[in-house]
Amino acid sequence: MTTTDLPASLISTLPGQYYTDPAIFALEQTRVFETMWFCAVRSADLPTPGKFRKVQVGRESVLVVRGRDGQLRAFLNICRHRGAQICTDDSGEVKRAFQCPYHAWTYDLSGKLVAAPNLTKMPDIDRVQYGLVPVHLREWLGYAWVSLADEPPSFEDDVMGAIADRLGSLDSIDDYELDSLTVGRRITYDVQANWKLIIENFMECYHCATIHPELTEVLPEFADGYAAQFFVGHGAEFGEDVQGFTVDGSEGFDKLPGVDEDHDRRYYAITVRPTVFVNLVPDHVIFHRMFPVSVDRTIVECDWLYTREVVESGKDVSRSVELFHRVNEQDFEACERTQPAMSSRAYANGGVLVPSEHHIGEFHHWLTQRLSD
């Protein structure tokens, strides 16, 4: 059966090769991850000068570091001398400078070349020009977003715009004050599946009644299979007897100070392309960042964000963490179950999307346009 033979209720997915072909993944690295704004690190994870984190963005290793002036900066993790990686640790702290372990070229926290063996005998070297290669960085919602593009796309259009399009305005996300929240729990998942399978799963709720019993108890409308994020400004309402966004529906915490009555007792899901999910509930926020490693492996880092008072007081967050941790595990197991079939002859021309999933077709169109540009 070809796509032209499909009944009106069905539209085609991407063919299986989009989830298995290393050449397509290489294109995604160059035309998606290395050109768009990529959410790299929670700003508060780097609280003092010299704190750094290494992240993989497409094919590039990127260092995000707190400077002596208090500003976050990002650089390619490559020595300008002979190309050795400067940092191999995923995170850490340096006192004043990064030093390449190969030939000891040394760079301060602003990226400037400050020392090297026999450097004084090379007075014609411009220490800024031969400093670390900078990467564009913006901070928003308490996270550092980086772009490897020479000319980054509009942050306002691509990142802020995605959230405004989902919620109806940026005012709504401002009410949750994400930049003032604190990480109460972080869980890292190593998912043996293509990053797009994770995106597609998050975008639809056709599967919710099948694999998310705890979630549909809290959000009964999800049992009908319609994804809340498909409708602009709509938040899925808590069940009548549900007290909080917890694994057993029991009471959570006081709602975040800025959350108004219109957003109370509601859940909002947002996708920010290419690799971010934002989940808003009245008393906390769940923030996913994906790091595609290969065509069939994706690291997902998930933060549960609460008010500083909740975290510092030592209140038990386990019931609210457990709800979405189960959702994550259920979703990722489904994606891992799907990944092997992407190379089957039965999926050579793709699968199909039912009406409640048709909006995923727009994601597929967006992706194929970027890969063909």
Over range 333-345, report the average pLDDT: 98
Over range 51-70, report the average pLDDT: 98
- Using the predicted structure, report yes or no on whether residue 101 has a pLDDT greater than 60: yes
- Using the predicted structure, report yes or no on whether residue 164 has a pLDDT greater than 80: yes
The answer to whether the beta carbons of residues 360 and 10 sit under 8 Å apart is no
Distance CA 28, CA 358 (A): 22
Dihedral over Cα of 35, 39, 43, 48: its sign: negative
Angle of the 195-203 helix axis to the 318-338 helix axis, nearest 10: 120
CATH architecture of the domain with residue range 36-153? 3-layer Sandwich (2.102)
pLDDT the model gives residue 236: 94
Q: Which of 327, 229, 235 is nearest to 281 (CA)?
A: 235
Distance CA 192, CA 195 (A): 9
303-330 in b/e form (b: 16+ CB < 10 A) is bbbbbeebbeeeeebebbbebbbbbbeb
Reported as a single tens digit per residue, the pLDDT across 119-157 is: 888 899 988 999 999 999 999 999 999 999 999 999 999
Over range 106-113, report the average pLDDT: 97
341 CA to centre of own chain:
25
pLDDT the model gives residue 289: 98
Where residue 95 falls among pLDDT bands split at 50, 70, 90? Answer: very high
Reported as a single tens digit per residue, the pLDDT across 254-305 is: 999 999 999 999 999 999 999 999 999 999 999 999 999 999 999 999 999 9
For the chain, give every residue range classified as CATH 3.90.380.10. Answer: 1-20+154-372
CATH, domain range 1-20+154-372: 3.90.380.10
Where residue 1 falls among pLDDT bands split at 50, 70, 90? Answer: very low
For the chain, give every residue range classified as CATH 2.102.10.10. Answer: 36-153
Reported as a single tens digit per residue, the pLDDT across 221-230 is: 999 887 766 6
pLDDT, mean over the chain: 95
